Amino acid sequence: MTTARTFLALAAFLACVSAGWAAAGAANPDDVKKMTAALPASAPAKPAAPRKVLVFCRCEGFRHGSIPLANAAFEAMGKATGAFEATVSDDMSVFTGEVLKPYDAIVFNNTTRLSFKDPKARQALLEFVKAGKGVVGAHAASDNFYDFPEAVEMIGGVFSGHPWGGGGTWAVKLDEPGHPLMASFGGKGFQIRDEIYKYREGSFSRAKVRVLASLDFSDPATAKPRNPQNADESDVGISWVHSFGQGRVFYCSLGHNNEVFWNKAVLAHYLAGIQYALGDLKVPDAPVAATAAPTSVPAASLADPCPPVQTLASTPWTADLKDATPHPLIGDWEGATSKPGPFVAEVIAMGKGQYQVNLRPAFMEQGEQAVLTGKEVEKDKRVEFSAEFGKTGSHNTQDTRWTAELSAQKLTGTVAMVGKDKSGTFELARVARLSPTLGAKPPAGAVVLLGADTKDLNAVWMRHGGAACGWTLLPDGAMRVVPGSGSIITKKTFSDQRVHLEFRTPLEPEHRGQGRGNSGVYLQGLYEVQVLDSYGLAAKKDECGAIYGIAAPRVNMCAPPGQWQTYDITFQPTVLKGNSVVSPARITVLHNGVKVHDSVELPRTTTAAPAGQIAQTGGLYLQDHGNAVEYRNIWIVEPPAASSGKE
């Protein structure tokens, strides 16, 4: 392009910038005063060169009222700190290589439904960032690019709704409290009144972006709008970074409400994120899910004890299956079905002769075809379910009638959809789904905490606080909680560790919730993997397999009461530098051979953690919660020259 043509192009661009700024509107003067008072006093990094940022605010869909104030905030923070000079536009003609050339980063400020119909505009945007420059997304920046998959990958997610509306106050947890971009939050999660986006399933992934903050579902108000059946609501990222080509991308979903832009911590977070996108603030940006957690221990030394299985194989049930539940009726059933099947069944004892049957499309699926209740006709021999309606599911309307009969040999029944030719029958047989790691032998060098050769529990275990262990050692080498005798902990302490442990919950059919077969396995006495009779329930963060109060298991893998189950746990402790957290603890859990937690970050200790304060080492703690839970075959593998947890 000649000099004259370049001048004309830039002149036209400046004209469209002025028009775009006018179209964007002016912010409320009172709001501007609040925002100005909350601006960071300085930038976290010194610019390597004078930086220019294009703040783009075009909307082809919903237009947020916070756009003018956000535009003013981005301009003001750059000017006040000297970090960059901002120019505002809402004209698509900026997306050419020549016009973008002077800029070091683009901020997509609450843009919506940007179509990028012009292939040259798409190419200009992608080449801009992939060549080494930066992109910043504020709030609705993820509500764009629906037919532009490369840009979706660039931003890191695409909008699919906001159950957490702008009128609510929601809890945010810091996934990386020690990350430089999170410095303004002081290492603590917070509450904020704003609209929080969820993302289309498959568009947002921790394997692709490094998540810095996300919704904290341990807060009841934040958890309430969540639908655990929707995969896109299982993990809701709020802020993240990642590299894209040679460039850098920072996204933060905060910014629906004006008040976000006079929140000091959030403004400082945005400034740090922009400086990262500009290349002036060097920070870790590799996806944590794709890398090992920071530790001095070689990853191979704490590899998963067995590969995660996608399904748990069924075995025909016989009375001599010593690891399966001995109850003649409860447990898993599968077999032949006609329409509207197929489905499998979970039979649950509810006490006083009452039973519940969950009919599901398949094991490990949460959606139910129907939930039936019935009463036994002969004790522990036969139960009748008559004229029951299906509870939920695509085949269950008020016109669907189910009848069923359960005996020790089979579960049979009929389904009739009134007024429709969709009647069917089913006949299911009892099966056992046993963990592939039951009876796993400790490898050479493992620390055996409980085994067939154990003669004295007090040699390894003590009551928490130092008194003698009050639990019962059984003839087969298992041990049983003596309710009221107190929780126990190992005398030996551990840091990085791989744990194998087997347990079974007692049959307590008249108990409910946390009173049904409750115990817990605490790593270092700090982080609880819940033990509970949660058979047949939804997967929640206070049920079996959960990191209690922090993370629900991906799927409910709880076996029926009376059946032996396994936990295979890989744990990496918190890395400390002095009293500061460099890297939070991480945990991977296989429940009955299925990976239900994959390198989950532990931002805090779990509820009722006996050890309280985070330390470098701690014992394995087993909880007495008033139920006669049994444990067996417990051993721990430590890596050679295990890390102290300090950096």
| CA–CA dist 90, 58 (Å, integer) | 4
**Segment holding 13, helix H or strand E:** helix 3-24
Which H or E element spans position 498? strand 497-504
Instruction: Please tell me the predicted confidence (pLDDT) of residue 614.
Output: 85
pLDDT at 386: 63
Q: What is the DSSP string of 79-147?
A: HHHTS-EEEEE--GGG-SHHHHTT-SEEEEES-B-----SHHHHHHHHHHHHTT-EEEEEGGGGS--TT
Round to whole Å and give the CA distance between 278 and 47. 9
pLDDT of residue 302: 53
Torsion angle (degrees, nearest 10) of CA 539, 228, 337, 423 = 140
Give residue 97's identity as a one-letter amino acid code: G
What residue type is assigned to position 183 of the chain? A
Distance CA 300, CA 639 (A): 9
Q: Which residue has the tokens 């703040």?
A: 55
| Angle in degrees, 0-180, between the axes of helices 264-278 and 67-81, rounded to the nearest 10 | 70
d(CA 595, CA 602) in angstroms, rounded, equals 17
Instruction: Return the structure tokens found at 94.
Output: 């900026």
pLDDT at 222: 94
What pLDDT sits at residue 419? 59
* Intra-chain end-to-end CA distance of the chain, in Å: 54
DSSP 327-342: -SS-EEEEEEE-TT--
Dihedral, 249, 255, 259, 265 alpha carbons, nearest 10: -30
- CA–CA separation, 354 and 356 (whole Å): 7
pLDDT on residue 231: 75
Rounded CA-CA distance 71/264 in Å is 16
Give me the domains of the chain, ranges plus CATH numbers.
3-290 (3.40.50.880), 325-432 (2.40.128), 437-637 (2.60.120.560)
> Rounded to an integer, what distance in angstroms lies between the CA atom of residue 511 and that of residue 517?
9
Please report the pLDDT score of residue 577 as a whole number: 78
Q: Residues of the chain whose pLDDT is less than 70?
A: 1-24, 229, 289-311, 337-342, 365-369, 386-399, 418-422, 641-647
For residues 339 and 424, the answer to whether their CB atoms sit within 8 Å is yes
Q: CA nearest 394: which of 339, 476, 437?
A: 339
Q: Cα-Cα-Cα-Cα dihedral of 293, 298, 299, 300, to 10°?
A: 180
Question: SS3 letters for 285-302?
Answer: CCCHHHCCCCCCCCHHHH
What does residue 503 show for φ and ψ, rounded to 5 degrees?
A: -150, 160
CA distance 634 to 490: 11
Per-residue pLDDT reduced to its tens digit, 469-492: 999 999 999 999 999 999 999 999
SS3 helix, strand, coil % of the chain, rounded to 5?
A: 20, 30, 50
Model pLDDT, residue 370 = 78
Total length of the chain = 647
